[in-house]
Amino acid sequence: MASSFVFCLVACQKLFTIWLARDGDSPRPWRDILLGGLALGLVLWAQPFFSLSVPSGFQLTAAGILASLALSVVGAVWTFAAFERCQGALCVIASAAVLGVGMAASHGVMILALKSRFEIGFDDTPFSAGLGLASALAAAGFAALKWWRTPAAVTVAAGCVGSGAVVSQLTTRLAINLNLIMPADSQWMTAWRAAPLAAAAIVLLVLWLRPLQARHQGVGLARKSAAFSSAAPS
């Protein structure tokens, strides 16, 4: 769980920093919303794979994994759209509510994707409690991001979203009753873990390189301008 939280914290820290650095009059805001939502959705989807343990005799289905990914990405894109388009307190409340529902749905589908001959029971009480708590944490983070807009606010927002993701994952797991006495298999499932983590890493790498590329281009243009000025006749 610690590595799961740290992964989400670092990724959200970078993602929210890039988001706040955007120009408010971006000519293609929906492109930014889609890219930001895709990145955040991949992070929240890949986060449980750090700590996911599957009981012996159970397997994750490919359809469930893809459904979980789709819910996570759609929820994250909707979250950024609400944060960008809504005004005042609604910006914070709507974003947090959508993100909480998206995380809970993604984690719930991930767990329910387990395939086995054993019966799987579901208790909605811890699931609902986790959804509410994750949304409340996200609201605190988005409030800091909306009204402070400082590096400290980015850290607070990243910590709140990361904590909410871990809470959602824990309470979803508590809501599932697998009705068996066999121990959980804590072995790393290489195939299922490598794919989402690699996808999230690629997206984060692209987001990380974009501001560096823009800075490099700016330095190059400044040097060319200085060289042209020095070469021009006085």
Strand-pair partners of 60: 114
Residue 74 has pLDDT above 90, yes or no: yes
pLDDT per residue over 192-226, tens digit each?
Answer: 555 555 665 665 566 555 554 444 444 444 444 54
Highest mean pLDDT among 26-40, 50-64, 127-141: 127-141
Residues 154, 132: Cα–Cα separation, whole Å: 22
Q: How many H helices and E strands in the chain?
A: 7, 6
Is the pTM above the cut of 0.85? no
Tell me the pLDDT tens digit for each residue of 126-149: 888 888 999 999 999 999 998 888
Least confident of 13-27, 112-126, 180-194: 180-194
DSSP assignment letter at 114: E
81-138 pLDDT, tens digit each:
999 888 888 899 999 999 999 999 998 888 777 776 666 677 788 888 888 999 999 9
Confidence (pLDDT) at 181: 41
Predicted confidence band at 189 (pLDDT cuts at 50, 70, 90)? very low
Q: Under a CB-based contact definition with an 8 Å cutoff, are residues 134 and 168 in contact? A: yes
